[in-house]
């Protein structure tokens, strides 16, 4: 006998109002967009269509289908064991970043490829440039310290005509730097985005995965399965999220007039206090904390700018105001 069918809300109200992912997955539509998904779709214990979220291939193919259906990306793949990003959360970051730009532009979101974004740690999936370019037409620089990630993202860009000319991939030559070696002299960036490595060691990353799987299964998991994948540089770095963001803040000061808004995701609430302290110490003129929620997880974006009101006005007029001629 099947368990009583779950009543699901029709809309995921915690997601951004402009998110394409607020509704429940329509697997018939997703399979129509990506036939590869069909073998992975099955009825779960509640007689609902679903995929096995413990199967890395199923998770990756679901992502492929979501990108094809919602964003018109027909060719998307990542190397084995690289991070498969949860797309609704990544889309939310882009939408909240658009709101941030709008707040600096009399309520109007600046769109088109004159708006240039820098994705710090683009990864193998190229996910932020895919979503940002589709939703708002923005141009992107995708930076990463891993040559395999850069090559994979470049392949995604080259295989999808809509992205060609709108996304440039750059390899960070020095892993100790964030912006140095990536932002060129006299280059202007409207927005930086960053999803920092979460953990401070491989052991911590593995323990975190075990906890996540245990919560999903509601029982002890003996075997470690990275259902969303992830290489070392994607999951952890020395000092974890706190140290990484501290370095982002320090180095952003050197590029104070090269960029309008710097932003980063902060997953651990305990890190927020030190991030805000470091930003004030660095001399940021405006600091914003933007809450985000996906399911049971609460995170936030921290955004800052070193530009004063006059500099912001000049930036808007030179880059975001459409020509009247």
Q: Give yes or no for residue 91 having a pLDDT over 80.
A: yes
pLDDT tens digit sequence for 8-30: 666 788 899 999 999 999 999 99
- In this prediction, residues 160-177 reach a mean pLDDT of 95
- In this prediction, residues 152-171 reach a mean pLDDT of 97
Helix axes 147-159, 127-136, angle to 10 degrees: 30
Give the neighbor-by-neighbor strand order of the sheet with 139-144.
167-171, 139-144, 116-120, 189-194, 259-266, 297-305, 286-294
Q: Give yes or no for residue 229 having a pLDDT over 70.
A: no
* Cα(134)–Cα(136) distance, integer angstroms: 6
Q: Give yes or no for residue 281 having a pLDDT over 50.
A: yes
* Cα(20)–Cα(167) distance, integer angstroms: 22
The pLDDT, as a whole number, for residue 240 is 78
Residue whose tokens read 């073998």: 39
Q: Give yes or no for residue 232 having a pLDDT over 80.
A: no
What 3 state SS string does 173-219 have? CCCCCCCCCCCCCCCCEEEEEECCCCECCHHHHHHHHHHHHHHHHCC
In the chain, % of residues over pLDDT 90: 72
Task: Place 48 in a pLDDT band, splitting at 50, 70 and 90.
Answer: confident
> Of 156-160, 229-233, 282-286, which gets the smallest average pLDDT?
229-233
Structural contact between residues 252 and 275, judged by C-beta atoms closer than 8 angstroms: no
- In this prediction, residues 33-43 reach a mean pLDDT of 96
Question: How many alpha carbons lie under 13 Å from residue 234 in its C-beta half-sphere?
Answer: 20
Task: Place 276 in a pLDDT band, splitting at 50, 70 and 90.
Answer: very high
Q: Give yes or no for residue 292 having a pLDDT over 70.
A: yes
Helix axes 240-252, 272-282, angle to 10 degrees: 20
Q: Give yes or no for residue 56 having a pLDDT over 70.
A: yes
User: Which of 115, 94, 76 lies closest to 15, judged by CA?
Assistant: 94
User: Which of 188, 169, 181 lies closest to 128, judged by CA?
Assistant: 169
Q: Give yes or no for residue 110 having a pLDDT over 90.
A: yes
> Of 37-51, 101-115, 175-189, 213-227, which gets the smallest average pLDDT?
213-227
Q: DSSP secondary structure string, 267-323?
A: --GGGHHHHHHHHHHHT-SEEEEEEEEETTEEEEEEEEE---HHHHHHHHHHHTSPP
pLDDT tens digit sequence for 123-150: 999 999 999 999 999 999 999 999 999 9
Predicted structure pTM score: 0.86
User: Which of 49, 51, 26, 48 lies closest to 40, judged by CA?
Assistant: 51
The pLDDT, as a whole number, for residue 21 is 95
């Amino acid at each position: 006998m099947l368990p009583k069918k779950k009543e699901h809300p029709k809309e995921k109200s915690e997601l951004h109002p402009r998110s394409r992912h607020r509704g429940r997955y329509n697997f018939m539509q997703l399979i129509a967009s990506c036939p590869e998904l069909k073998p992975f779709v099955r009825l779960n214990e509640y007689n609902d269509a679903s995929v096995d979220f413990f199967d890395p291939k199923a998770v990756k193919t679901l992502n492929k289908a979501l990108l094809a259906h919602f964003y018109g990306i027909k060719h998307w793949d990542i190397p084995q064991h690289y991070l498969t990003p949860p797309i609704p959360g990544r889309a939310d970051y882009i939408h909240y970043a658009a709101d941030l730009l709008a707040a600096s532009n009399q309520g109007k979101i600046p769109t088109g490829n004159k708006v240039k974004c820098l994705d710090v740690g683009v990864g193998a999936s190229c996910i932020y440039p895919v979503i940002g370019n589709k939703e708002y037409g923005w141009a992107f620089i995708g930076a990463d310290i891993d040559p395999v990630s850069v090559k994979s993202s470049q392949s995604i860009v080259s295989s999808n005509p809509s992205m060609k000319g709108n996304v440039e991939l750059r390899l960070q030559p020095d892993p100790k730097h964030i912006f140095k070696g990536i932002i060129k002299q006299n280059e202007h960036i409207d927005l930086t985005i960053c999803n920092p490595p979460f953990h401070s060691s491989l052991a911590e990353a593995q323990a975190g995965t075990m906890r996540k799987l245990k919560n999903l299964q509601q029982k002890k998991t003996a075997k470690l399965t990275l259902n969303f994948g992830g290489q070392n540089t994607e999951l952890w770095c020395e000092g974890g999220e706190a140290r990484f963001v501290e370095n982002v803040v320090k180095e952003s000061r050197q590029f104070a007039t090269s960029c309008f808004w710097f932003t980063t995701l902060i997953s651990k609430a305990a890190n927020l206090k030190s991030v805000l302290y470091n930003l004030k110490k660095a001399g940021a003129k405006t600091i914003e904390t933007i809450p985000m929620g996906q399911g049971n997880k609460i995170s936030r974006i921290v955004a800052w700018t070193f530009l004063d009101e006059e500099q912001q006005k000049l930036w808007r007029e030179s880059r975001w105001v459409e020509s009247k001629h």
